[in-house]
């Protein structure tokens, strides 16, 4: 749980710094930054909720949420990704680059969810199995 809280704090710090930088740009850049921030906040809250509960259904819901966010960011980049717009508006270009960072976060979160779901279903998360996996990885 401490790891989840730490990740949440880091991501909220990133959002606040990103919001300050993107607030100086065009209306499109501000709208895109708002979409990114709200999406990231929602996925962080859902992740914390799933981690706290530990329920398989919550992790399944979080898996669907990460997939929908990945599709959403692809649509956003397609809508705002015109090269001529990016050349004219550096704030928009910065916001579009942030979608790639956020998408990486959602991919990592999705991988974590899949790992948690497989551990919950197979019971592979015992301490002895983790120790064996660490030894195999290090050797």
Please count the other Cβ atoms lying within 10 Å of the Cβ belonging to residue 77: 15
Q: For residue 127, what pLDDT is reported?
A: 46
Q: What is the mean pLDDT of residues 2-30?
A: 65
CB 91 within 8 A of CB 24: yes
At residue 122, does pLDDT exceed 50? no
Alpha-carbon distance 76 to 96, whole Å?
Answer: 8
**What are the distances in angstroms from CA 78 to CA 75, 82, 83, 127?**
5, 8, 11, 45
Q: What is the mean predicted confidence (pLDDT) over 108-126?
A: 64
DSSP class of residue 117?
A: H
Q: Where is pLDDT greater, at 70 or 15?
A: 70
Residues with Cβ < 8 Å from 79, sequence gap 6 or more? none
- Check the CA dihedral 78-38-60-115 and report its sign: positive
Is 51 in contact with 5 (CB distance < 8 Å)? Answer: no
What is residue 125's DSSP assignment?
T
Confidence of residue 125 (pLDDT cuts 50, 70, 90): very low
pLDDT beyond 50 at 53? yes
Q: Which three-class secondary structure state does DSSP give residue 120?
A: helix
pLDDT at position 26? 74
Using the predicted structure, report yes or no on whether residue 133 has a pLDDT greater than 70: no
């Amino acid at each position: 749980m401490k790891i989840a809280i730490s990740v949440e704090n880091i991501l909220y710090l990133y959002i606040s710094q990103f919001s300050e930088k993107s607030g100086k740009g065009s209306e499109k850049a501000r709208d895109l930054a708002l979409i990114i921030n709200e999406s990231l906040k929602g996925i962080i809250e859902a992740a914390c909720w799933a981690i706290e509960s530990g329920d398989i259904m919550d992790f399944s819901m979080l898996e669907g949420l990460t997939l929908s966010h990945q599709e959403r960011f692809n649509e956003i980049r397609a809508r705002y990704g015109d090269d001529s717009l990016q050349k004219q508006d550096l704030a928009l270009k910065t916001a579009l680059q942030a979608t790639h960072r956020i998408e990486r976060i959602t991919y990592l979160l999705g991988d974590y969810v899949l790992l948690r779901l497989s551990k919950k279903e197979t019971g592979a998360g015992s301490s002895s199995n983790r120790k064996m996996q660490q030894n195999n990885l290090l050797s």
